[in-house]
Amino acid sequence: MSQPTQTRVTSELSTSALQAQDKSHHFHPFTDLHSYAQSGGRIITQAEHVYIHDSEGRKILDGMSGLWCCNLGYSQPSIVSAVTRQLQTLPYYNSFFNCSNNAAVALANYLAEVTPKSFNYFFFTSSGSEANDTNIRFVHRYYDLLGKPEKKQIISRKNAYHGSTIAGASLGGMDMMHEQFIGLPYVHHIQQPYWYKEGGDSDADTFGVVAARTLEQKIDELGEKTVAAFIAEPIQGAGGVIVPPKTYWPEIQRICDERDILFISDEVITGFGRTGAWFGCESYSTRPDLITFAKGITGGYQPLGGVAVSDRVADVLTAGGGEFAHGYTYSGHPAACAAGIATLDILINEQVIDYVGADIGPYFGKCCRELAEHPIVGEVRTIGMLAAFELVRDKNARERLAPDGQAGLFCREAAIGNRLMVRAVGDTVISAPPLICNRQEVDLLIERLVRALDATAIEYGVSV
């Protein structure tokens, strides 16, 4: 092997040198690999509290909590020391072959306290995608053990996001992803509850019921005897922060109650306080049988995901004989679990979830909803610390700006230019700031977002 010629201490490199090395050797997720290889990207070098810094020395307010995960911001020394202590004591051991470790035991017990009452068993993974693969394995195993092996089909929704492994992407309903691989044949997609885009002339509440009933129709079409589960995010995150009409979830729950299917609530984004409750299913009073979690469980400090298993499912899994032939090297990784425990400690000791539910969430929601007055904003959707802004040319006609998707990207770039990180999903600008933001930080977020919206309106010839 030849001696390395380049320095590995990348913090000493200039931005252009870092960009050159990055675009030459690093393939990025969800990125145009051709254009990235030409242009390179933005290098983030450090972060503190609710701010990230780039290699050009710009301090950017993080309106996306990293990627919906750094819910407690970037300065939590107790998580760092919990992980450090764990790495010094037991950096790794597996959870296979009848072994366990203190951190995984403690986290599973802790989760039994904070999840809805009927959830008492937890399976750990390293990501939300792996957790949804695990869900499919649990669901199929559950019905096999019940002597109903023909129940294999899973119903999901168009424009859902459930991860990027083959199973996660199959469960997801993103057209762009499905165009690039062959989805699992037993996964089917129904209408999403996206009133603003698909509601037509009907009012939101009527549309909510119509969208929910497509689940009932799909169960009938496939045959209830063959359907195993329905999976959904309480609020579609990557799909554009789609807060459903208030009629939607009660109707879905009614259908799940009446039919012999399991309901999986994918709470990778909505779990651990994002909506102002511990879990999104509590915000909407639904009763899932399985909950997918990841992201917020460690505030992004370690990769950790998993599945919360309700008594209904766990009783069958533990009663049946035979090995459950599924698991990952890093299931129950001690350092990741230590980060999870320290994160739950902060959520509880600092009453973060009450703060989101009763204080900063309503304040953030109010400030965001005021932007519905902006000439380029057709609709604002919020819940807890989640918000979506639909960019339009004509509010009354819900007419989009042309070409589709460009204004969202323009607005995102304008926001970054104003030192605010947000995300664009087509022409929907979305924000999911850290749960620990104070009111001044929310005000700053709104101020910078308004500047970006103004710039977008000017660029697209909508008078401000």
- The residues of the shown chain that bind ligand PXG, judged by CB under 6 A, are 67, 127-129, 132, 161-163, 168, 233, 237-238, 266, 268-269, 294, 305, 423
Q: How far is the CB of 279 from ligand PXG (least distance, A)?
A: 12
Q: Which is nearer to ligand PXG, 141 or 162 (CB)?
A: 162
Q: Which is nearer to ligand PXG, 188 or 374 (CB)?
A: 188
Q: Which is nearer to ligand PXG, 95 or 236 (CB)?
A: 236
Q: Which is nearer to ligand PXG, 268 or 367 (CB)?
A: 268
Q: How far is the CB of 387 from ligand PXG (least distance, A)?
A: 14
Positive or negative torsion for Cα 173, 176, 177, 183: positive
Q: Which long-range contacts (CB under 8 A, 24 or more apart) does 363-367 make?
A: 363/439, 363/442, 364/433, 364/437, 364/442, 367/442, 367/443, 367/446
**Alpha carbons 368 and 388: distance in angstroms, whole number:** 9
Report which residue type is found at 73. G
Q: How far is the CB of 458 from ligand PXG (least distance, A)?
A: 27
Q: Within 26-151, where are the H helices?
A: 33-39, 65-68, 77-89, 102-114, 128-145
Residue nearest to ligand PXG (CB): 128
Q: Which is nearer to ligand PXG, 210 or 340 (CB)?
A: 340
Q: Could you tell me the end-to-end alpha-carbon distance of the chain, in angstroms, rounded to an integer?
A: 61
Q: How far is the CB of 237 from ligand PXG (least distance, A)?
A: 5
Q: How far is the CB of 204 from ligand PXG (least distance, A)?
A: 22
Q: Which is nearer to ligand PXG, 353 or 430 (CB)?
A: 430
Q: Which is nearer to ligand PXG, 164 or 456 (CB)?
A: 164
Only one residue has tokens 């990025």, namely 28
Only one residue has tokens 């290889």, namely 37
Instruction: Tell me whether strands 428-431 and 423-425 are parallel, antiparallel or unpaired.
Output: antiparallel
Q: How far is the CB of 432 from ligand PXG (least distance, A)?
A: 9
Q: Which is nearer to ligand PXG, 393 or 431 (CB)?
A: 431
Torsion angles phi and psi, residue 30, rounded to 5: 45, 55
Residue 456 host element (H or E): helix 439-459
Q: How far is the CB of 439 from ligand PXG (least distance, A)?
A: 26
Q: How far is the CB of 133 from ligand PXG (least distance, A)?
A: 10
Q: Within 309-437, where are the H helices?
A: 311-319, 334-349, 352-355, 361-370, 406-417
**Alpha carbons 165 and 219: distance in angstroms, whole number:** 25
